[in-house]
Structure 1
């Protein structure tokens, strides 16, 4: 195999399809370094460049698609490597299946940047390739395929200009512009004749960030509330649910006299249905009276009023459950249910996949937590979905809440990755967000996505009160929704139309010239080869 555009030692290395695939997987894994816990966010504008440079040199479109697939496999495996202890070899299978989504993107890279591309093709690549990347992120954001975990824009969760961009077009817009910058850098490195459009692309990205910083609507301050997060830490043992409840009870009582407006417990903080255990409901009501605030707990148990196990956010007042309840809608594949269990049920034999499917809720809920405070709860995995927090903000939630637990992955990168997502959701909606976990990392962010106080790490068991700033007004993302995704799909649609026209206009054998009948001998028989 000849690798176009690469010579010398590198060319010989990539001449082998297997070695080239390994290099593609390694290049695809590089973006993981920009996410927590390494959090090398400043790498994000260039972290795709090796992958792009590799795919553009593919000798054929099929090989470029393979480079995209292998890079996608490397990316998905790296960003989800902490699943290996739970799903074992099935993690690799899932990564390989999801990696296929990047195959068309690899083909697009070669189509627009391969060989000696014209400045016009390079200029088009600055729009088409980010659009292709966004299409991949859109498809894999379906919760059945694992949800929007590891979106490239999420690497910028602590960068103020990027958070302002998120308020305009969501994390989607941040991903789009990051890929555009990576493409521009790749063109600067590899295509000398097209440096002008590359520089123009970088200038346009800077202008977009500056415009968002200057003109994007900012949330207007609207006072503050005191929200307490109770994090009990790891509790082991056969009766861990009872021990955890008792520990959370003791930690919550320490809040008496500190005047919180709301107390939040983490996911699965109550292991019994309160209808079956009225004694627990009475103890929670007593806690609410002791601290002078409502409690938001999370019940992970088989329901007494309907069949199945639900994960539910339940609001507790001084007289017991208030009647406000939210049942988790988007479940974690394999962790809380197994997609197509009849086909994939064998995953329970090779890892810690769900032995029984949890049941889903049907709609989101905005709760009145008293004192005029309206809260929008989500459960764990759901904080990764931009549309869920956007809908809660549109429905009037003043504070977004995510009750979570990543104790299974306590010593991995997962807790920090999960906690960082709340910064994006806060910036997108202009609403503060509280990420409360059982075992850390717990975190609170203000309406601009800025961190409020310090994270509560995975080694802590505590009850901490945060002064959370409120805001009113609406961000452009809340008003306009996923317009960046729609624009990307429009770009891809136009690209497909142009490519189709180009193929139709290309002279084919049937259209090049009228068919000439074969030569015949004097007797009328066809002249055969060699005669």
Structure 2
């Protein structure tokens, strides 16, 4: 007689396990910052997917794991989005359905050497496809890309200068895939070991033989962080706090002073008194100020649609220089509601934007006025989570920016992982472009990175209300990433296209599609003799 396993309970256990398995990679990012964990964090999820009894189950477990990943990486949004974060995670989690199917197809059952070799290329490519789609600004942007977990690892940062954060994501998933093969597919251990060795050799070769950025002088940049106390005050008091901190910088031979996002709460055209005070500050410290104006502008000022803009504005001793950058990529739900007519109810379910801010139309590269050593230096401003977009810093670098400046505010998320995650992105952008990055925030964490992604000086923590001067090294030349762009994405998509075409041709010819051998769906059955 044969006993029947309780497959229903077993399957629900698998579905429940997929959520925490997908969430594990979040520990690789700040604040835990267990960068090494990224290279093993996907193994439990992939082991689950490869043993899925059907493609439908693999799709479900890929979806649930993706939702778990989004929830874990963005959990700090819960106080703002509240329960809306869960359907949002479910929506974005669906991007991992194809990856779940791919893992089952290539790693399931008995894996021969040829299929293992293909898996080491195609499984990372499938992951990168998920990252690419969710990197669209309308879906929240490229926050939490797996490669960004390596922001403090010098060899990985050097690799980012070759292929950007995308190449790091491919490398990390390839190592996880090789470990799954080593654990679960004895017949594929040779290509798996070769895959791990190849990743290590590639990283080592780039680290040893690719030259780093060539030095090209230095700028003295002051970061003014108003701090949590200043943010809790009125807009006028916030400006006063920034003014007081900036006055302390007089006599320190500066090239640039940077304030954080939303540091000025009124338009300088409408408030000439604020413009005069900023000009006086510039004259006092002997350097231009890059402030951030979060205010309403009329049609006469915008030359187009009136509304609320977030703008980086350069101010010299004579007043605003005329250089202004309006933030282009706004935060969904935080700064505007996508399809407000349909999703406007979100404002009652969380702290979503009551009114849509207006986006800018083009990036801007600014020329520093003749300061101590800054004459002729061009800066590329970004605002807030725009530092998550590799293409923006690449564009600014190609347009001649020698210094990249991100003005940010994570005041709403103090005490969470968000400030540390945001600050860490500056290291990736610096390494990719070979240009230093100043990440200046309203409330912390403010940090500065050199052209190789190395941290310059001590960051300003969230509790600090201070002005600090950093000696920022400049660099000349260009990186391979700036020159060729996101070529790893093109290679990954090309590999997936070839694979899908091959499977399609195989199906049209009536040949068997490559499917994994069936896996047991529950405990092994026992036969009783009597």
| Fold agreement, TM-score > 0.5 | yes
Are 1:181 and 2:185 an aligned pair? no
User: In the aligned structure 1, how far is the partner of 2:390 from the partner of 2:262?
Assistant: 23
User: In the aligned structure 1, how far is the partner of 2:440 from the partner of 2:481?
Assistant: 25
Give the conservation status (yes or no) of the 8 Å contact 1:235–1:243: no
Are 1:191 and 2:185 an aligned pair? yes
After TM superposition, the structure 1 = structure 2 runs for residues 401-480 of structure 1, keeping only pairs within 5 Å, are 401-480=405-484
Q: Which runs of structure 1 show a deviation greater than 4 angstroms over 4 or more consecutive aligned residues?
A: 11-15, 236-239
User: In the aligned structure 2, how far is the partner of 1:125 from the partner of 1:273?
Assistant: 55
Are 1:31 and 2:25 an aligned pair? yes
1:232 maps to 226
User: In the aligned structure 2, how far is the partner of 1:324 from the partner of 1:129?
Assistant: 45
After TM superposition, the structure 1 = structure 2 runs for residues 82-481 of structure 1, keeping only pairs within 5 Å, are 82-235=76-229, 240-304=234-298, 305-306=301-302, 307-370=306-369, 371-481=375-485
- Partner of 1:375: helix, strand, or coil? strand
User: In the aligned structure 2, how far is the partner of 1:272 from the partner of 1:61?
Assistant: 56
- Partner of 1:88: helix, strand, or coil? helix
- Partner of 2:504: helix, strand, or coil? helix
From 472, 491, 494, the equivalent of 2:495 is 491
User: In the aligned structure 2, how far is the partner of 1:321 from the partner of 1:168?
Assistant: 38
Cα deviation for residue 236 of structure 1 reads 6.4
Cα deviation for residue 235 of structure 1 reads 3.8
2:525 maps to none
Instruction: Choose 47-56 or 231-240, whichever is displaced more.
Output: 231-240
Cα deviation for residue 12 of structure 1 reads 6.9
Give the conservation status (yes or no) of the 8 Å contact 2:231–2:238: no
Kindly indicate whether structure 1 or structure 2 has the higher relative contact order, using CA contacts under 8 Å at least 6 residues apart: 2
Give the number of the structure whose alpha-carbon radius of gyration is greater. Answer: 1
Give the conservation status (yes or no) of the 8 Å contact 2:230–2:241: no
- Partner of 1:51: helix, strand, or coil? helix
User: In the aligned structure 2, how far is the partner of 1:451 from the partner of 1:61?
Assistant: 45
User: In the aligned structure 2, how far is the partner of 1:246 from the partner of 1:273?
Assistant: 16
Give the direction of change, closer, same or farther, for the CA distance of 1:104–1:230 in structure 2 (3 Å limit).
same
Give the conservation status (yes or no) of the 8 Å contact 2:410–2:441: yes
Give the direction of change, closer, same or farther, for the CA distance of 1:124–1:365 in structure 2 (3 Å limit).
same
User: In the aligned structure 2, how far is the partner of 1:334 from the partner of 1:369?
Assistant: 34
- Partner of 1:16: helix, strand, or coil? helix
- Partner of 2:223: helix, strand, or coil? strand
Cα deviation for residue 214 of structure 1 reads 2.8
- Partner of 1:257: helix, strand, or coil? coil
- Partner of 2:227: helix, strand, or coil? coil
2:38 maps to 44
Give the conservation status (yes or no) of the 8 Å contact 1:126–1:184: yes
2:524 maps to none
1:528 maps to none
User: In the aligned structure 2, how far is the partner of 1:16 from the partner of 1:83?
Assistant: 33
RMSD: 1.5
TM-score, length-scaled by structure 1:
0.92
User: In the aligned structure 2, how far is the partner of 1:14 from the partner of 1:392?
Assistant: 55
Q: How many residues are matched?
A: 499
